[in-house]
Structure 1
């Protein structure tokens, strides 16, 4: 079992394929979406069988809010973006996960949603590592 993984927890295969692990927080695994068009992070609470925020215990709900806010502030500081979009939709991937996306005027799709907009653009070369290092430093 990897450090930080709770007994009985497994990451949804689509989340694993669409993102890279960045680090472990208190409740969540923090991941980077594999799409360079937007600085896009995903928090995944390490609790088995959880689909909705209200499925979490009150303490875990508070921890998820704290970690989401911490990640959003770090992303805003690193990117100097116009707006942070935060969402936990779960229509396609049912496992609870929270998207935190940095948006700026003029980015692909602005001001519309990032979901379903165009084709994903993978990170090039050291770009992912550099972004990851900046986020870690900001946290």
Structure 2
């Protein structure tokens, strides 16, 4: 079993912790314009995708796939964007973003496209419950937040 890895403070500032999957922490970006998940593989000192060993890489790919499918089932986007940029936050993390033809940035990338719109408390609670229920029904959580 791997030791707990601390999540970078910038991610904690911008996200809500949903829970731990088999390999990663599942976060919700505090950006109400899009259903936007962030997976943080719980391995120390990983910056880029190729820093993961092959089995861990496979496990994270499985989690990305499951989270993408959960967003599709819940929100029916026309596209799900997956990106691991990490230019501002050096800890390896993967963005999974549901996109819609009528969203504020379509068809451009979401980064910097609009002014940040944080979730209102009731909307945040609903979004967290929807995602937790959908992802948990697929492969469960190693722990639960909230």
Give your verdict on TM over 0.5: yes
Q: Quote the residue 1:61 is aligned against.
A: 57
Q: Quote the residue 1:7 is aligned against.
A: 3
Q: Structure 1 residue 94 and structure 2 residue 90: aligned? A: yes
TM normalised by structure 1 equals 0.93
TM normalised by structure 2 equals 0.88
Q: Quote the residue 2:76 is aligned against.
A: 80
Aligned length: 135
> Equivalents in 1 of 2:101, 2:129: separation in Å?
25
Q: Quote the residue 1:17 is aligned against.
A: 13
> Equivalents in 2 of 1:36, 1:24: separation in Å?
22
Gaps of 5+ in 2: 136-146
Higher relative contact order (CA 8 A, sep 6+): 2
Contact 2:35 2:97 in 1 (8 A): yes
Equivalent residue for 2:122, pick from 121, 126, 135? 126
What do you get for the CA RMSD once the two structures are aligned? 1.3
Q: Quote the residue 1:47 is aligned against.
A: 43
Corresponding residue SS for 2:129: helix
Equivalent residue for 1:138, pick from 120, 131, 134? 134
Corresponding residue SS for 2:64: helix
Gaps of 5+ in 1: none
Equivalent residue for 2:102, pick from 100, 106, 126? 106
